[in-house]
Amino acid sequence: MPDQSLKVMSDGLELQVEAFGDGRPFLFAHSLGGCRHQARRLLEPLASEFRVIVFDQRGHCGSTPVTDPALYEPRRMAGDVAAVLDGLGVAQAIVGGESMGAATTLLFATMHPKRVQHVVQVAPTVGDEPNPSRQMIVAVGDFAAEYGLDAAADAIALASMSQGIPREAARLVTEIWSHHRLESFVAANRAVPNWVLFDDLAPVAALKMPLAVLAWGGDPSRPLPLARRLAAAARRGRIETVDSLADFAREPGLYAKLLRHLLPE
């Protein structure tokens, strides 16, 4: 099937969407500060088996800038997932994402379970408790507001390297920041870290479809205990873990390889 690139309207905002590959539809939502280009690069190895759908979440990269923190509301962003599937004419799909994208797709699955065949959670950041590193993430937005996105990316890379993460791995997270609108980036970083999706994990336990988790250690903003709790709460939960984000820098293709282990045959 040929590649598709289109714009989809959701909640009065325009979302930039791409679909590539051939097979069962697999929608993947990127992390806070990420974009569809990063997601596509990571998921290209899956294109021989899946119709991969990536999109710029609201306020990010090619989608409509969003400078009001109140518009980064998780249920509204779960609605964006529905709009993307509708725009492509997809009634049901495998859905998943990383970090912020894990949250929006998990919430979508609880809101629209009949539209979801399988849930994938990569490095989840929030569930029934706020992110333990929320003050640091908000501070990154404040730093960017004062000094710019490039300076904020450099600061995060240096902080990550001081914890033993190679520069290449640190740049996996921040390399796209300069392509965002500064005001949107700041608003997202002030809003998203304070999300709490559920009072408890009962909505996750109620899901009937499989839920698969990919997580790593050494990253307090993407807590491994939360990943394990989500997998344990799900009726049909599975989890794959690696030691740290650095593993993906050392072995190109590992991200997609581990995801393939977690996806349905």
What pTM, to 2 d.p., does this model score?
0.95
User: Is 118 a residue whose pLDDT tops 90?
Assistant: yes
Distance from chain centroid for Cα 188: 13
The length of the chain, given as a count of residues: 265
Sheet holding 4-10: strands in order across?
4-10, 13-20, 50-55, 24-29, 93-98, 116-122, 211-216, 237-242
Count CB atoms within 10 A of the CB of residue 68.
11
Nearest to 236 by CA among 104, 113, 108: 113
- The pLDDT assigned to 173 comes to 67
Q: Are 156 and 170 in contact (CB under 8 A)?
A: yes
User: Is 221 a residue whose pLDDT tops 80?
Assistant: yes
Question: pLDDT per residue over 120-138, tens digit each?
Answer: 999 999 999 999 999 999 9
Token code pair at residue 90: 């997809």
Question: pLDDT per residue over 228-254, tens digit each?
Answer: 999 999 999 999 999 988 888 788 899
Q: Are 200 and 208 in contact (CB under 8 A)?
A: no
111 Cβ neighbours under 8 A, 6+ residues apart: 75, 78
Residue type, 187: A
* Of the listed ranges 116-120, 219-223, 235-239, 253-257, the one predicted with least confidence: 219-223
Residue 65 carries which DSSP code? P
Total H helices, total E strands in the chain:
11, 8
Distance from chain centroid for Cα 257: 17
